[in-house]
Homo-oligomer: A and B are copies of this chain.
Amino acid sequence: MHVNDVVAYIQANRERFITDLKDWLAIPSISGDPAHAGDVRRSAEWLAAHLTGEGFPTVEIWETPGLPAVFAEWPAADPDAPTVLIYGHHDVQPVEPLSEWATDPFKPVEKGDRLIGRGSSDDKGQVFFHTLGIRALLAASGAAAPPVTIKFLVEGEEESGSVHFAGLLRERRDRLGCDAVVISDTTMWAADVPSMCTGMRGLTEAEVTLRGPASDLHSGSFGGAVPNPLHAMAALLAGLHDAEGRVDIPGFYDGVVPLTAEERDAFARLPFDEEAWLRTAGESRAAHGEAGYSTLERIWARPTAEINGMWGGHTGPGGKTIVPREAHAKISFRLVAGQDPAAVQDAFRAWVAANTPPGVVAEVAIPGGGVRPCFSPIDSAGVRAARRAMERAFGGEVLFTREGGSGPEADLADVLDAPLIFVAVGLNDDHIHAPNEKVEIPLLLKGAEAAAYLWEELATALR
């Protein structure tokens, strides 16, 4: 296979690729709006037909209790070749406020190098470059089948919470078996700074209630002589962190995979403008966090405890001199590789119990099991192979990032017991989830090129 053949195929098929993608983007597959359930189904059917047209021997629409996913499979010629599952989604975010869109969100248009329309970056565009990549690889190599068995799983409920996704994975596990999962639903650092995400943080949430007297008390008659649950809450939550900004819950850091010198170095080489970042952080006035870590390390690779809400006593206008009966707080923890949501939940419960003062009764409610973190070490075989593919396409060094948020991707790694590899070409300024979503067409084409090389690289690396 010649690089020039891959590039030539992609260039030759650019128009058809964009035209097809526009067709798909025109379907308003808004999963969060029940009125668009039929459109989500049309979107699945459109994709299924397209994949069939591209040559996938197996294409199926998979029903869920909610909206349908699309599954496709193209076996490698070599029965011993590894299997790779591509994950993406075909549903999109709502488009409100419509008045802020310069063009119709579902009438995609090209403006210069940009393709504008809902779903162009998140995530139809990024699912779509894979189909072009596979065709380019087969054309350039002259093979009838890819060098790895390729599976597609394209979800229809990602933008509405992936409610049925974990269930679907468990139910269809036998069909989804793979050696690696390629995720194409994230971003690169910048158009001229290609990068790969290597992990997402996990999440677990808790609500704490501290109870004091059975009713609010007059602070003149009782103030200063009985425990005040708001004082107890302030003291409890002030103890969440130590003076170094570390979470001060015994056991919280157990198992945390430390950042390697290589990854810290890769993060440090990203052109990060902290002042500009603070402006995007709601005009925050200062960076703040765990001592010894940079801002990027704090949001990507270190676990956190964050108070999301706190309330109790008199919160209306004017004064009310009471000792209140109850205090409440909602707390969430972002977790990193090596942490288990259930273990953090147990540690938190124990910590609250150990730090509740006499005369105050604590209750901890934890909704659900949380989201597991996901992480692929940068020196793992899959990540190294994907990086090589990206570097071949982009013609330069590919750096590393992570995602601070949490997503259903962790379920893929867990249920399928396979490492995740993030290959994506979205940008942070693509306006995903916002008006005027766009994608850079040259990056989509680079994505297709990287995808073409990826199967070749993974065929060797995962064997």
Contact = CB atoms under 8 A, between A and B. Distances in A.
Nearest to A406: B220
Given A225-B299, A233-B234, A234-B238, A310 B327 contact: yes
A79 to B, nearest CB: 41
Contacts of A290: 224
A217 B307 CA distance: 12
Given A205-B321, A213-B281, A230-B309, 6 more contacts: A216-B282, A223-B334, A231-B241, A234-B310, A286-B358, A309-B324
Interface string A280-297: 011111111110000100
Interface in A146-195: none
A233 to B, nearest CB: 7
Interface string A218-243: 11111111111011011111111100
11 contacts: A212-B282, A214-B283, A217-B282, A220-B403, A221-B405, A222-B282, A224-B290, A225-B299, A226-B281, A226-B287, A310-B310
Interface in A272-327: 278, 281-290, 295, 298-299, 302-304, 306-315, 318-325, 327
A421 interface: no
Nearest to A302: B224
Contacts of A217: 281-282, 284
A225 B312 contact: no
B228 A334 contact: no
A375 B289 CA distance: 48
A224 B46 CA distance: 42
A204 to B, nearest CB: 10
A327 to B, nearest CB: 7
A258 interface: no
Contacts of A283: 213-214
A140 to B, nearest CB: 39
Contact of A221 (B233, B236, B299, B359): B299
Interface string A253-284: 00000000000000000000000001001111
A199 to B, nearest CB: 12
A288 B226 CA distance: 5
B324 A308 contact: yes
A202 to B, nearest CB: 10
A359 B285 CA distance: 4
A226 B309 contact: no
A215 interface: yes
A141 interface: no
B310 A223 contact: no
A135 interface: no
A330 B325 contact: no
A124 interface: no
Given A213-B284, A358-B285, A315 B325 contact: no
Contacts of A216: 282
A295 B221 CA distance: 11
A328 interface: yes
A460 B351 CA distance: 65
A203 interface: yes
Q: Which of A298, A308, A405 has the most CB of B within 10 A?
A: A308
A337 to B, nearest CB: 15
B328 A284 contact: no
Contacts of A219: 304, 306, 308, 332, 334
A393 to B, nearest CB: 27
A317 to B, nearest CB: 10
A49 interface: no
A220 B357 contact: no
Contact of A225 (B201, B223, B234, B295): B295
Contacts of A221: 299, 404-405
B307 A315 contact: no
Contact of A315 (B213, B215, B228, B328): B328
Interface in A76-93: none
